[in-house]
């Protein structure tokens, strides 16, 4: 009996010791197991943005040679810059209704569609169509413009040919990053939108912007909002611009692109939203309103970086940069030789005051944020 008790005690101790050794062995193995790395993927698109294509008759007459309109020489210095980017935005200030209905100048513009050919050839592929001049030549010009862009590989927004198409928000993708453009104008210079055809141009309201953004925000990585707003020739954004910018940022806009004032206004951030209050003109025959302010313009560039970890994606704007542009032309009985000059290529032949103008308008860009970068000049 004593032997049996002794035997059972020895067996129990053995079992306990074996369990301890097994536990220690497993613990040692656990220490040697390497953690599974979190899978992280990155993708990027580069974006460039310029302002108003305001096609006065002087601009398109200068492009008319040998019986055709050819605007390529006017933007030839910009083209290499644009083509380095994946996405490129501009504001089509004057409707591209084409020559079939007759071209026209201020105050009711209609422009050659060949300008669109030159801009697409340069690499522009995101185009705002909602401006105060959209209704200048009525429905026919708008339909002509929409039909012109319809078969092109571009993203347009702000003007449509039906309620059905106006309700669709097209989404495009580049380098694994999905994006779209919403666009609005404050008004149409007092021209009434035909009743029942409100789709012809997007008028801004807080309610419409909220509806549109909520419909698309969770479907895209990058949300651009083009705003035709503000007061012409005023450097400081209005209180309403600032309020609308805050509102759009709160709804989740990634970049707000401002047009209409025809001159440069500041760039800043509202939380993570990049706000460009006004890019100014891109090309026009506007003479200087005040110290070349309608002729010195802005080109903004930024990288959109998408980081995906464990199936969750986040967008970040990186490498923001800007360059001033100069809308050069020669005056005489006719204004000729229009050409957009990056300030990095400026010299006294284009404007002997270009260094002073660089300092002045760089300060405007940096008015709200001194850290906003601008390319240096030679």
The alpha-carbon radius of gyration of the chain (Å, integer) is: 29
Q: Say if CB 155 and CB 172 are below 8 A apart.
A: yes
The answer, yes or no, to whether residue 367 has pLDDT greater than 70, is yes
Q: Which two tokens stand for residue 204?
A: 């801004």
Residue 13 has φ and ψ, to the nearest 5°, of -65, -40
Task: State which H helix or E strand residue 350 sits in.
Answer: none
Q: Is the pLDDT assigned to residue 1 strictly greater than 60? A: no
Q: Domain 40-365: give its CATH code.
A: 3.60.21.10
Position 32 confidence tier, pLDDT thresholds 50, 70, 90: low
pLDDT at residue number 254: 98
For the stretch 142-181, pLDDT in tens is 999 999 999 999 999 999 999 999 999 999 999 999 999 9
**The pair of three-digit structure tokens given for residue 199, joined into one six-digit string:** 């789709």
Q: What is the pLDDT of residue 39?
A: 73
Each residue's pLDDT tens digit, 66-115:
999 999 999 999 999 999 999 999 999 999 999 999 999 999 999 999 99
For the chain, the domains span 1-33, 40-365
Residue indicated by tokens 């660089």? 358
């Amino acid at each position: 009996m004593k032997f049996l008790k002794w035997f059972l005690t020895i067996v129990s101790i053995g079992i306990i010791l074996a369990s301890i050794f097994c536990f220690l062995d497993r613990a040692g193995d656990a220490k040697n197991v390497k953690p599974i790395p979190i899978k992280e993927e990155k993708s990027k698109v580069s974006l460039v943005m310029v302002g108003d294509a305001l096609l006065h008759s002087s601009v398109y007459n200068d492009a008319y040679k040998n019986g055709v309109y050819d605007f390529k020489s006017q933007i030839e210095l910009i083209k290499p810059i644009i083509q380095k980017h994946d996405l490129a935005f501009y504001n089509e200030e004057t409707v591209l209704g084409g020559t079939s209905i007759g071209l026209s100048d201020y105050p009711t513009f209609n422009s050659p569609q060949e300008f669109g050919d030159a801009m697409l050839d340069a690499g522009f592929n995101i185009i705002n169509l909602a401006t105060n001049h959209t209704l200048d030549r009525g429905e026919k010009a708008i339909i002509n413009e929409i039909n012109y862009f319809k078969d092109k590989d571009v993203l347009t927004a702000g003007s449509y040919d039906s309620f059905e198409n106006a309700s669709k928000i097209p989404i495009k993708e580049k380098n694994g990053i999905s994006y779209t453009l919403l666009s609005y104008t404050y008004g149409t210079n007092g021209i009434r939108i035909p009743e029942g055809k409100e789709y012809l141009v997007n008028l801004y309201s807080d309610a419409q912007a909220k509806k549109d953004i909520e419909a698309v925000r969770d479907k895209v990585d990058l949300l651009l909002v083009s705003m035709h707003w503000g007061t012409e020739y005023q450097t400081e954004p209005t209180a309403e611009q600032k309020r609308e910018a805050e509102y759009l940022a709160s709804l989740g806009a990634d970049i707000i692109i401002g047009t209409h004032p025809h001159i440069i206004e500041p760039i800043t951030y509202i939380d993570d939203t990049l706000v460009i209050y006004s890019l100014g003109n891109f090309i026009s025959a506007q003479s200087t309103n005040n110290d070349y302010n309608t002729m010195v313009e802005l080109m903004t560039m930024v990288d959109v970086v998408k980081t995906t970890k464990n199936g969750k994606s986040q967008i970040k704007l990186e490498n923001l940069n800007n360059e001033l542009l100069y809308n050069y032309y020669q005056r005489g009985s006719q204004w000729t030789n229009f050409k957009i000059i990056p300030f990095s290529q400026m010299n006294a032949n284009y404007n002997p005051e270009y260094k002073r103008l660089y300092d002045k308008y760089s300060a405007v860009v940096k008015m709200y944020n001194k850290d906003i970068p601008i390319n240096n000049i030679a």
